């Protein structure tokens, strides 16, 4: 097996057993990036020298007998909205094209402590606003299964790199599906953790009450190993609520006989491609064959999730992105003759169309005349969505649903239709509104020969249960083992 085709845990085991050197692993992935990224555009920047230095440091720690993570010495790639000290963190935007943070995000510190080897920063939709990675200032990323198609977004670079073997695993963020939807489009696995389980310190904010950092990997075991590193308390993040990291040691039994899984029939009705419906219903039958009880039900409030999400997300984005004014840091227009020109010119030239659209939507719904009509109502709907999930979890251990209504579509096909793009988030945004965890794993292919994914949604902090179910599915199927071009 080529090094680039290994899972993170396979690679970590070989490194621990001294059958593979950290520098050899890093070189293999850096070479894979060099050979694929001209076509995929999955990376915004690659730090070869820093990666090799980190690999040598990890090797020295392992040689000294230091007890490290199972992923020690394994290369990791990081979405470009997570701060890395003295390394460009652009958020896929002209606004931050030259920004090098003076500090590391908490998750980057935890990766370093665990012996991980960062190799580069991954392409993304600008400020994580988009579902196809087409809004990136640095150009669209491509899907390695078919480079004429999108890899999803906003973490499209992360999913594309993992699927192509140009990343062993990746650390990304999910505001309304930005980990799960690219996983579905690229045939890889990911976890959107419970809100508050992973520190957001050093994550460049899009919508602060929705953003959450999580892992993308070749299979769910890699994701669990990464999340065990990332999760836990952080006094620098007021929303961090976990005292200790997740423990997944009991999650790989392959046993789901005690599980009750809800399958929302209204998620499988109008607007979903037949191939996606077929793959998800087949996955439900697989769980039944493994001994789980799968029951159909109707999930209420679904039709209100997308409008509520975009009102809240855009309102928070408008507030968070007000800091980019051409004064403190970031892009500054060279055509300004006055202070107001600095503000107007810097923001007009520094932000792309989609970011401007969401800032304007956010400013509108927060304005005095419309706050009660839109923003306040959206907050009320958010509470009702949370209540609907809580009622479902009184009966079911988890909910099985599609990740997206379609497989990956062609580049340029939807980018000029914002409403169509927003409706593509119909199955994912409610999870973020409720602060719940969800895992996304491959479950089939469509007629276009593109991957299709499903998600399992659980109650707060039920990640070990979700991982157990996802792992049981992956032990019984081979969708996650299929590689593009192989």
DSSP assigned state of 92: T
List the 293-297 sheet strands across, edge first. Answer: 43-46, 117-122, 75-79, 169-174, 212-217, 189-192, 438-445, 451-458, 398-402, 260-264, 293-297
In which residue are the tokens 């007000």 written?
322
Q: Give me the residues paired with residue 143 across strands.
A: 146
The separation between the first and the last C-alpha atoms of the chain, rounded to the nearest angstrom, is 12
* 77, 93, 155, 178: the active-site residue: 178
* 79, 110, 121, 192: the active-site residue: 79
In which residue are the tokens 């087949």 written?
282
SS3 letters across 393-415: CCCCCEEEEECCCCCCCECCCCC
* 132, 154, 173, 199: the active-site residue: 154
Query: Has 178 been annotated as catalytic?
Result: yes
Query: Has 132 been annotated as catalytic?
Result: no
Name 265's Cβ contacts closer than 8 Å, sequence gap at least 6: 296, 297, 298
Query: Has 79 been annotated as catalytic?
Result: yes
C-beta neighbour count of 65 within 10 angstroms: 7
Number of H helices, E strands in the chain: 15, 11
Q: Give me the residues paired with residue 401 across strands.
A: 455
Distance CA 479, CA 79 (A): 25
Burial 30-59 (b: 16+ CB within 10 A, else e): bebbeebbeebbbbbebbeebbbebbeebb
Residues with catalytic function = 79, 154, 178
């Amino acid at each position: 097996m080529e090094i680039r085709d290994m899972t993170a845990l396979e690679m970590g085991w070989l490194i621990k057993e001294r059958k593979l050197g950290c520098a050899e692993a890093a070189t293999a992935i850096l070479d894979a990036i060099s050979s694929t990224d001209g076509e995929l555009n999955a990376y915004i920047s690659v730090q070869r020298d820093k990666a090799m230095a980190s690999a040598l440091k990890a090797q020295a720690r392992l040689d000294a007998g230091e007890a490290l993570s199972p992923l020690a010495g394994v290369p990791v790639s990081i979405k470009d909205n997570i701060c890395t000290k003295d390394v460009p963190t652009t958020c896929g935007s002209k606004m931050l094209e030259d920004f090098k943070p003076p500090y590391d995000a908490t998750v980057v510190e935890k990766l370093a402590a665990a012996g991980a080897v960062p190799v580069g920063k991954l392409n993304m939709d600008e400020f994580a606003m988009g579902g196809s990675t087409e809004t990136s200032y640095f150009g669209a990323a491509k899907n390695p299964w078919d480079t004429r198609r999108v890899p999803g977004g906003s973490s499209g670079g992360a999913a594309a790199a993992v699927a192509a073997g140009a990343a062993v695993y990746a650390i990304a963020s999910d505001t309304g599906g930005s980990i799960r939807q690219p996983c579905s489009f690229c045939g890889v696995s990911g976890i959107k953790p419970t809100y508050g389980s992973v520190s957001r310190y050093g994550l460049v904010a899009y919508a602060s009450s929705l953003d959450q950092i999580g892992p993308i990997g070749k299979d769910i075991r890699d994701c669990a190993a990464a999340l065990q590193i990332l999760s836990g308390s952080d006094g620098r993040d007021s929303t961090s609520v976990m005292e200790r990291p997740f423990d997944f040691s009991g999650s790989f039994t392959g046993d789901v006989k005690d599980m009750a899984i809800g399958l929302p029939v209204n998620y499988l009705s109008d607007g979903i491609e037949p191939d996606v419906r077929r793959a998800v219903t087949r996955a439900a039958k697989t769980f039944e064959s493994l001994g789980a009880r799968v029951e159909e039900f109707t999930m209420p409030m679904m039709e209100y999730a997308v409008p509520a999400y975009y009102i809240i997300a855009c309102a928070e984005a408008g507030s968070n992105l007000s800091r980019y004014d051409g004064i403190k840091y970031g892009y500054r227009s060279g055509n300004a003759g006055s202070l107001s020109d600095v503000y107007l010119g810097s923001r007009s030239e520094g932000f792309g169309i989609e970011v401007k659209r969401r800032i304007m939507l956010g400013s509108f719904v927060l304005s005095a005349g419309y706050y009660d009509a839109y923003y306040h109502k959206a907050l009320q709907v958010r509470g009702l969505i949370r209540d609907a999930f809580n009622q479902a979890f009184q009966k079911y251990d988890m909910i099985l649903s599609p990740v997206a209504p379609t497989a990956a579509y062609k580049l340029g096909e939807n980018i000029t239709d914002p409403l169509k793009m927003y409706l593509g988030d119909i199955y994912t945004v409610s999870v973020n509104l409720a602060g719940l965890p969800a895992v996304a794993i491959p479950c089939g292919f469509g007629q276009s020969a593109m991957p299709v994914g499903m998600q399992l949604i659980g109650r707060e902090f039920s990640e070990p249960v979700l991982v157990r179910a996802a792992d049981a599915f992956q032990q019984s199927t081979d969708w996650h083992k299929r590689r593009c071009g192989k």
